[in-house]
Amino acid sequence: FSPRLDDIWSVHSCRHGRVLFTSSARTGRGCRQVLVWDPVTGDRRCIGSPTQLGGHDWSESRVQADVLCAAGDKGHVHGACHSSPFKVVLACVSKGVARACVYSSEMGAWADLISTLVPFDMSPSLGSRSILLGNSLCWFIFGPQVDILELNFDRQSLAVIEVPPHAYANHQGLYLSTLGGALGFIVMSESYKAQLWERTTDFDGVAGWMPGQTIELRRLLPLKSGEWIKRVMFIAGDESDNVAFLSTSRGIFMVHLESLQFEEIFKSNPDNRLSTIYPYPFKSFFAAAAA
């Protein structure tokens, strides 16, 4: 592996025991190369980006990138992902079109470009954090309105899921969620209340959104009078990995949103900031030894 001297490398994703980096030019835009690293085995794979595939130049796009087991959200069972094939996904949205491309380590090649129209073309961008639910990968699309982009691996298709504007009016943060095993998102308010919205389907098969539980984060923590919350960050993995990190004047807490249990993971210090928590937590697995 010989990186170009003028490349800037950024970490984009950790999933199923692997970490993904992309390189870009000095402008910080685009994707020249992809590096997939397994910290447990030390395996590193460098992959060239699908330059000009389908007439699109990925080296000039603002790209989001993800890595996952080829078996999707079931690929991490019994530690299989360290030796199993993997996929890499590049996605972007610009000029009214969302695009995605999937690399297969089994095939050693990028598949055909997948694209769909988005309902607006005024400087939209993809959110930096994705969620994997079943065999679909989802990102927020941020622009004049907020929508969700879904990449379905079974159908090899992209779809835009509308989000009701009244759900996120005056929000102080939006986060994708898999609480309860369904597609959802969390809306933060100024008072540190987290409102969950869930994707539902009625008896006629029409999909929509319904408000779910509201979590009052401050009431969950053992904060005394005069202690305050500085910042909140949510991370969604699978349905067992939805957590919130809260930076407070007392320390940094991690709240498990499914059980509403918390842990104090850092004590307070004068420079206590939530940036000490990297937004892509690494989790690995190992196979049980034979008896």
* Residue 113 and residue 175 in one domain: no
Whether residues 116 and 221 share a domain: the answer is no
pLDDT of residue 278: 53
Q: How far apart are CA 128 and CA 53, in angstroms?
A: 23
Q: Is residue 19 part of a domain?
A: yes
The string of pLDDT tens digits covering residues 97-153 is 999 999 999 999 999 999 999 987 777 889 988 999 989 999 999 988 999 999 999
Total domain count for the chain? 2
The pLDDT mean for the chain works out to 83
Last residue of one domain, picked from the residues 92, 120, 148:
120
* Least confident interval from 57-71, 75-89, 209-223: 75-89
What is the residue range of 174's domain? Answer: 165-281
Nearest-angstrom CA–CA distance, 8 and 244:
30
17 with 113, same domain: the answer is yes
Same domain, 112 and 197: no
Structure tokens at 124: 């939209």
Domain check: are 93 and 173 in the same one? no
| 176 in the same domain as 77 | no
The answer to the question of residue 291 being in a domain is: no
Q: Are residues 115 and 183 in the same domain?
A: no
The 10s digit of each residue's pLDDT in 266-277 is: 776 555 555 545
Same domain, 104 and 185: no
189 with 96, same domain?
no
Q: How far is CA 149 from CA 113, 241, 243, in A?
A: 15, 21, 22
pLDDT at 240: 56
Domain co-membership, 105 together with 219: no
Residue 97 near residue 84, CB atoms below 8 Å: no
Q: Using the 3D structure, point to which of 103, 120, 137 is the last residue of a domain.
A: 120
**pTM of the entire structure?**
0.86
| 54 part of a folded domain | yes
Gap between the Cα atoms of 16 and 67, Å rounded? 8
Assess whether 13 and 113 both reside in one domain: yes
pLDDT attached to residue 78? 40
Q: What one-character DSSP code corresponds to residue 144?
A: S
Is position 116 within any domain? Answer: yes
Q: Is residue 136 part of a domain?
A: no
Query: Is residue 198 situated within a structural domain?
Result: yes
| Segment among 2-16, 128-142, 202-216 with least mean pLDDT | 2-16
Please report which helix (H) or strand (E) contains residue 195, including its range.
strand 193-201
Q: Which residues contact 197 (CB under 8 A, 6 or more apart)?
A: 167, 184, 185, 186, 187, 209, 210, 211, 212
- Pick the last residue of a domain from 62, 87, 120: 120
- Let me know if residue 287 belongs to a domain: no
Do both 73 and 179 map to the same domain? no
Residue 277 lies in a domain: yes
